Amino acid sequence: MTAYQLNSKIIRNEELAPGVVRITLLAPEIAAQAKPGQFVMVKASDKGNPLLRRPFSIHQTSNGRIQLLIKVLGQGTGYLARRKKGEILEVVGPLGQGFSLSAQTSNVCAIGGGVGAAPLYFLVKDLLRSKTPAQIKVLLGSATAKELVVLKNDFANLGITPLLATDDGSIGYHGFVTDLMPEQLGMGEFTQVFACGPKPMMYKVAQFCEMRNWTCQVSLETVMACGISACLGCTVKSSQAKLENSGRPFLHVCKDGPVFSAGDVAWS
């Protein structure tokens, strides 16, 4: 798949909650090829500081446009949050390996944590359009309600009511999203489980699925410098099974992922 370097015009920059923005970019070449789970690298400065681009999962694509959901955490994301409609951002993508969708999609569960769950919307939207699973459950968690309201509304537009959990109890279940899995998923047959968010959360999801012999894919978040496996800065350790099968002790999130089979990753 070809990756493009584009000067993309900002169509819209919305502040959805304090410290959370959604940027819509005109990027027809990227939008035409992007798959759920892939990402783009965005130049986060016009003065060379910070120097490195920032990776962002693609939240959705539509009519030659891509959307990015961004949580302001530092200088680079702060710069992007202040950009205005009509301004230009340098974007490279689509990059990485996205979610793998099998022909058998009778029951699907998507589990996400915080704004990092943004690519799950792209995934579920694509599933509804092309696979029509018999059942889709969406479980979303975050520290507080402000990070969930946006995604809750997005999924509602698809006709799905996600189950919510917050650390502070400000919306939904008071606790971790992984606490919802035993009751909501039980011992049912979920042919595919997809997770994106903090590593401890995904580890618990992976363990839960392994005990039930369910397929689980995880989208890893890590610091990236290039996005094309040139800097080798986004390595993660392979599981013992993956090492024995491939001979590779490490995997690169930007090229081999960001989506992996949960069993390929060494979680500790």
Beta strands per DSSP E along the chain: 4-17, 20-26, 39-42, 54-57, 60-62, 65-71, 88-95, 107-113, 135-142, 163-166, 173-174, 192-196, 216-219, 235-237, 250-252, 259-261
CA distance 229 to 141: 31
What is the second-level CATH architecture of the domain 4-95? Beta Barrel (2.40)
Q: For residue 229, what pLDDT is reported?
A: 66
Helices (H) and strands (E) in the chain, counts: 7, 16
What pTM value is reported for the model? 0.92
Task: Check if the beta carbon of residue 151 is closer than 8 Å to that of residue 112.
Answer: yes
Token pair 């917050």 in the structure block, residue: 166
Residue 145 buriedness (CB in 10 A; 0-12 / 13-18 / 19+): middle
Start-to-end CA span in the chain (Å): 32
Amino acid 268: pLDDT? 81
For the residues of 94-116, what is the DSSP string, one character each? EESB-----S--SEEEEEEEGGG
Nearest to 212 by CA among 193, 196, 195, 199: 193
Picking from 165, 159, 164, 149, the residue whose alpha carbon sits closest to that of residue 127 is 159
Per domain, the residue ranges of the chain are 4-95, 100-191
pLDDT digits (tens, 9 = 90+) for 137-166: 999 999 989 888 888 989 999 999 999 999
Per-residue confidence band for 130, with pLDDT thresholds at 50, 70 and 90: confident
C-alpha dihedral, 20 to 160 to 112 to 104, nearest 10°:
-140
Higher pLDDT, 80 or 101: 80
Report which of residues 66 and 268 the model is more confident about: 66
Strand-pair category, 4-17 with 20-26: antiparallel
Q: What is the DSSP letter of 14?
A: E
The DSSP bridge partners found for residue 259 are: 219
- Contact in structure between 140 and 69 (CB atoms under 8 Å): no
pLDDT band at residue 134 using 50, 70 and 90 as cut-offs: low
Reading the block at residue 213, the tokens are 């012999």
Say whether 100-191 and 4-95 share the same fold. Answer: no
Domain 100-191: state its class: alpha beta
**What is the reported pLDDT for 88?**
95
